């Protein structure tokens, strides 16, 4: 599904290296957790995978389903099944949530050569998916994320994911700002989407989320490099010992 | 010492009427001596063919929503093309003996009203009778054929009597030729009365649109006003609103959709002459190419107008490096227990919004269109008539479709 090979990247105009040779292979059906301290490059990785501007890839490559991902525009990536659940979902005044969802879904379908979904079919789909995430009709009537609480924003991201049914889900600190009930709800929504042909990258600081979304592999990111990989028990070890061991060579 | 300037061709055609120019503070961005680059002799009546007129009238986006429709063609009331209000709540008078200023006119020095006074030959007076609620909108359609480089002067007086309510739709449309359209609307809103007004300024691409709206409000009355400006080469439009009774409120909103070298200048003065009134101004201005938008909002709070609540904001969205926006908010406050504020912003499309939409699979052009439409639509969110509000959304979409590179 995803092959990241020796990925080096820096922030545009700053010449500051953020990623220093990441290697990661994610197969269909797998859930990979990426953990690491602040500033280790976790969010940068998620932005580079989803196509945000402002980064220079200085070396390496990223193959998605065998194609060069970095060559594609953000909307092309989305249409091909890449989805980023944002750490800080953006509020967009004036754009109605339902209109946004419908335009997004139909743009993706169009790009894939599928027919557009009719309004009744679309409404049915959203109703079904939103009920499971405890998202009210009232929330759906508001502009995209406007006036949503932190937890509502995260649930709205998972709703988008459920409606768009991507192949590769990247969850960037989806647990941040969630209380335990919201966390369970979000994790349940994510788990529902686990399937043999879908892969997930779960970026998080804390092990807590991984109690609910159990990963196949855990990677520790430090200074833009994966310094250790292991099974889910690695997350528990990190919870006990912290990241000190992996950032030890700091000056 | 005032300096007398040699009359321009346009001023000569106006029999020496002195046009406002940039050395006058209110006109610093819109110099009519320069804009009116040739003689536009005032005329009344058309030389265009019936087919041409009908073709232009057919472009009126608000046509489907009006019960009564009053059509002017090149300054003259066209009864045959109009649909008169059924007798009852509304009386209509057609005044052909010149058109004196109405009582809605404040003591403002308004050169556009003066110009209209001087050359307007006929006008309409609409009276919505006391206590009647007129749900179906009344439309005023001002067609300028642009057949000749002339000035057409139109005016209408709207009287909403005590306890009455009405919705006025006003469309300005025109042909491709150069012309000047001078428009004056004077409205009196009685006690406990309400007027909703939606104006679409869609004059032809070579036109100069000069419009003044004077309105007076009684006690516990309200005005909800919206203007979409997307036509004409140059537009200067003015609103002069005066509260004469307490506990009344005004909303004046507007959206600009400008491209090419279009120029639009809106000047709004709200006069809180009495206490306990609320005014809101919101302008959402979209400028592409080398277009230039200007918003001048002034709130005056008189000495006795305590508990005044007045806010104005203008937001500009610049879609190109060469587009421009100028805002001049003014507050003149002589009372001490008031809440007044203003805000003006100007910027380009938000990259974070754009990335968020694209990350969900929405192609760049479409994502931009969505954001532009969302930006502009905030100005007409409060248009009460749902179908009219939707029509405004469609006009915005139409503008966006034309904008997209082929």
B chain contacts of residue A103, beta-carbon cutoff 8 Å: 362, 366, 370
- Of residues B257, B261, B281, the one with CA closest to residue B269: B281
Closest-CA distance of chain B to residue A64, Å: 16
Q: Report how far residue B180's alpha carbon sits from residue A18's, in angstroms, rounded to the nearest whole number.
A: 60
Boundaries of domain holding B253: 9-348
Tell me phi and psi for residue B191, to 5 degrees.
-60, 140
- Using CB atoms, which residue from A74, A95, A103 is nearest to B359? A74
Decide if B189 contacts B222 (C-beta within 8 A): yes
For the stretch A63-75, pLDDT in tens is: 999 999 999 999 9
- The residue-averaged pLDDT of A17-32 equals 95
Q: How confident is the model at residue B404 (pLDDT cuts 50, 70, 90)?
A: low
Decide if A155 contacts A181 (C-beta within 8 A): no
A chain contacts of residue B375, beta-carbon cutoff 8 Å: 94
B chain contacts of residue A77, beta-carbon cutoff 8 Å: 359
Closest-CA distance of chain B to residue A136, Å: 21
A92 has a chain B CB within 8 A of its CB = yes
- Using CB atoms, which residue from A74, A95, A143 is nearest to B358? A74
Q: Which residue has the higher pLDDT, B1 or A90?
A: A90
Q: How confident is the model at residue B191 (pLDDT cuts 50, 70, 90)?
A: very high
Is a pLDDT exceeding 50 seen at residue A251? Answer: no
Q: Which residue has the higher pLDDT, B172 or B47?
A: B172
Best residue in A81, A107, A158, A160 to probe B by mutation, most B CBs within 10 Å? Answer: A107
At a CB cut-off of 8 Å and minimum separation 6, what does B10 contact? B19, B32, B33, B36, B37, B38, B39, B40
CATH topology (fold) of A2-92+167-246: Rossmann fold (3.40.50)
Is a pLDDT exceeding 50 seen at residue B109? Answer: yes
Residue A12 is predicted with a pLDDT of 87
The overall average pLDDT reported for chain B is 94
Residue B200 Cα to chain centre, angstroms: 7
* Pairwise CB contact (< 8 Å): A73 & B358: yes
Q: How confident is the model at residue B406 (pLDDT cuts 50, 70, 90)?
A: very low
* Closest chain A residue to the Cα of B381, Cα to Cα: A94
What percent of chain A stands above pLDDT 90?
A: 73
* Closest chain B residue to the Cα of A102, Cα to Cα: B362
A chain contacts of residue B367, beta-carbon cutoff 8 Å: 75
H helix and E strand count, chain B: 7, 20
* Pairwise CB contact (< 8 Å): B361 & A94: no
| HSE-CB of A109 using CA atoms within 13 angstroms | 15
Q: Which residue has the tokens 């190419």?
A: B289
Is a pLDDT exceeding 70 seen at residue A3? Answer: yes
Closest-CA distance of chain B to residue A185, Å: 22
DSSP 3-state assignment of A152?
Answer: helix
Residue B88 is predicted with a pLDDT of 80
Q: CB contacts < 8 Å between A and B, how many?
A: 76
Q: Which residue has the higher pLDDT, B170 or A233?
A: B170
Residue A153 is predicted with a pLDDT of 93
Best residue in A86, A95, A97 to probe B by mutation, most B CBs within 10 Å? Answer: A95
Residue A240 is predicted with a pLDDT of 85
* Closest chain B residue to the Cα of A165, Cα to Cα: B360
For the stretch B293-348, pLDDT in tens is: 999 999 999 999 999 999 999 999 999 999 999 999 999 999 999 999 999 999 99
What percent of chain B stands above pLDDT 70?
A: 97
How many domains, in total, are found in chain B?
Answer: 1
For the stretch A126-145, pLDDT in tens is: 999 999 888 999 999 999 99
Residue A207 is predicted with a pLDDT of 85
Q: Report how far residue B362's alpha carbon sits from residue A96's, in angstroms, rounded to the nearest whole number.
A: 14
For the stretch B249-288, pLDDT in tens is: 999 999 999 999 999 999 999 999 999 999 999 999 999 9
* Pairwise CB contact (< 8 Å): B360 & A78: yes
For the stretch A34-72, pLDDT in tens is: 998 888 899 999 999 999 999 999 999 999 999 999 999
* Pairwise CB contact (< 8 Å): B360 & A111: no
Is a pLDDT exceeding 60 seen at residue A250? Answer: no
Q: Which residue has the tokens 């944002």?
A: A86
* Closest chain A residue to the Cα of B350, Cα to Cα: A92
- The residue-averaged pLDDT of B221-225 equals 98
- Of residues A105, A142, A139, the one with CA closest to residue A121: A105
* Pairwise CB contact (< 8 Å): B374 & A89: no
* Closest chain A residue to the Cα of B368, Cα to Cα: A95
B chain contacts of residue A52, beta-carbon cutoff 8 Å: 355, 359
At a CB cut-off of 8 Å and minimum separation 6, what does A14 contact? none
For the stretch A97-127, pLDDT in tens is: 999 999 999 999 999 999 999 999 999 999 9
Decide if B394 contacts B381 (C-beta within 8 A): no
Closest-CA distance of chain B to residue A207, Å: 27
* Pairwise CB contact (< 8 Å): B375 & A94: yes
Q: Report how far residue A85's alpha carbon sits from residue A133's, in angstroms, rounded to the nearest whole number.
A: 15
Q: Report how far residue A146's alpha carbon sits from residue A96's, in angstroms, rounded to the nearest whole number.
A: 9
* Pairwise CB contact (< 8 Å): A100 & B357: yes
Task: Collect all residues from B whose CB is shorter than 8 A from any CB in A.
Answer: 351-353, 355-364, 366-367, 370-371, 373-375, 377-378
Q: Is residue B368 part of a domain?
A: no
HEC letters along B317-371: EECCCCCEEEEEEEEEECCCCCEEEEEEEEECCCHHHHHHHHCCCCCHHHHHHHH
Is a pLDDT exceeding 80 seen at residue B100? Answer: no
Structure tokens at B194: 């309400």
* Pairwise CB contact (< 8 Å): A111 & B361: yes
Q: Is residue B43 part of a domain?
A: yes
A chain contacts of residue B371, beta-carbon cutoff 8 Å: 92, 94-95
Decide if B168 contacts B135 (C-beta within 8 A): no
- The residue-averaged pLDDT of B198-226 equals 97
Domain boundaries, chain A: 2-92+167-246
ipTM metric: 0.95
Q: Is residue B397 part of a domain?
A: no
Residue B1 is predicted with a pLDDT of 44
* Closest chain A residue to the Cα of B371, Cα to Cα: A95
Is a pLDDT exceeding 60 seen at residue B142? Answer: yes
- Using CB atoms, which residue from A77, A78, A90 is nearest to B353? A90
């Amino acid at each position: 599904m995803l092959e990241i090979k020796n990925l080096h990247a820096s922030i545009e105009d700053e010449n500051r290296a953020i990623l220093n040779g990441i290697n990661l292979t994610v197969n269909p059906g797998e859930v990979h957790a990426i953990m690491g301290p602040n500033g280790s490059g976790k969010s940068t990785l998620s932005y580079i995978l989803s196509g945000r501007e402002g980064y220079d890839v200085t070396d390496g490559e990223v193959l998605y389903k065998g194609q060069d991902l970095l060559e594609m525009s953000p909307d092309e990536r989305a249409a091909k099944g890449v989805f980023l659940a944002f750490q800080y979902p953006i509020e967009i005044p004036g754009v109605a949530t339902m209109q946004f969802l419908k335009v997004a879904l139909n743009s993706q379908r169009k790009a894939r050569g599928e027919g557009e979904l009719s309004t009744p079919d679309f409404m049915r789909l959203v109703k079904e998916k939103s009920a499971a995430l405890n998202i009210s009709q009232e929330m759906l009537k508001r502009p995209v994320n406007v006036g949503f609480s932190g937890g509502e924003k995260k649930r709205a991201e998972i709703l988008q994911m459920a409606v768009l049914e991507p192949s590769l889900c990247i969850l960037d600190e989806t647990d941040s700002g969630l209380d335990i009930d919201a966390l369970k709800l979000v994790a349940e929504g994510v788990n529902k989407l686990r399937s043999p042909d879908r892969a997930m990258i779960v970026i998080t600081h804390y092990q807590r989320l991984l109690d609910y979304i159990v990963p196949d592999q855990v990677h520790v990111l430090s200074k833009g490099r994966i310094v250790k990989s292991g099974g889910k028990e690695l997350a528990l070890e990190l919870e006990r010992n912290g990241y000190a061991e992996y950032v030890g060579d700091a000056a | 010492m005032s300096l007398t300037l040699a009359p321009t061709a346009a001023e000569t055609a106006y029999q020496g009427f002195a046009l406002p120019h940039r050395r006058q503070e209110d006109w610093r961005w819109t110099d009519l001596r320069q804009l009116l680059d040739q003689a536009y002799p005032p005329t009344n009546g058309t030389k265009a063919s019936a087919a041409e007129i009908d073709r232009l009238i057919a472009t009126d986006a608000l046509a489907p929503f009006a019960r009564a429709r009053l059509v002017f063609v090149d300054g003259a009331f066209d009864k045959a093309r109009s649909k008169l209000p059924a007798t009852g709540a509304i009386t209509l008078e057609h005044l052909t003996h010149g058109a004196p200023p109405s009582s809605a006119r404040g003591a403002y020095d308004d050169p556009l009203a003066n110009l209209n006074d001087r050359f307007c030959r006929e006008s309409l007076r609409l009276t919505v009778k006391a206590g009647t609620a007129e749900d179906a909108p009344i439309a005023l359609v001002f067609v300028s054929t642009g057949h000749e480089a002339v000035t057409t002067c139109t005016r209408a007086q709207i009287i909403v009597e005590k306890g009455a309510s009405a919705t006025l739709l006003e469309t300005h449309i025109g042909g491709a030729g150069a012309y000047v359209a001078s428009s004056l609307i004077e409205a009196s809103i009685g006690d406990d009365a309400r007027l909703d007004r939606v104006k679409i300024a869609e004059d032809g691409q070579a036109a100069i649109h000069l419009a003044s709206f004077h309105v007076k409000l009684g006690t516990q009355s309200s005005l909800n006003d919206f203007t979409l400006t997307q036509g004409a080469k140059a537009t200067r439009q003015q609103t002069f609103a005066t509260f004469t009774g307490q506990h009344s409120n005004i909303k004046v909103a507007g959206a600009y959709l400008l491209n090419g070298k279009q120029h639009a200048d809106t000047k709004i003065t709200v006069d809180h002459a009495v206490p306990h009134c609320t005014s809101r101004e919101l302008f959402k201005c979209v400028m592409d190419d080398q277009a230039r938008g200007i918003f001048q909002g002034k709130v005056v709070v008189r000495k006795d107008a305590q508990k005044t609540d007045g806010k104005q904001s203008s937001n500009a969205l610049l879609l190109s490096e060469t587009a421009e926006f100028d805002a001049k908010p003014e507050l003149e406050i002589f009372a001490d227990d008031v809440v007044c504020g203003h805000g003006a912003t100007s910027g380009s499309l938000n990259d974070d919004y754009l990335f968020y939409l694209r990350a969900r699979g929405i192609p760049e052009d479409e994502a931009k269109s969505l954001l532009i439409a969302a930006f502009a639509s905030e100005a007409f969110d409060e248009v009460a008539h749902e179908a009219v509000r939707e029509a405004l959304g469609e006009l915005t979409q139409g503008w966006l479709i034309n904008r997209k590179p082929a």
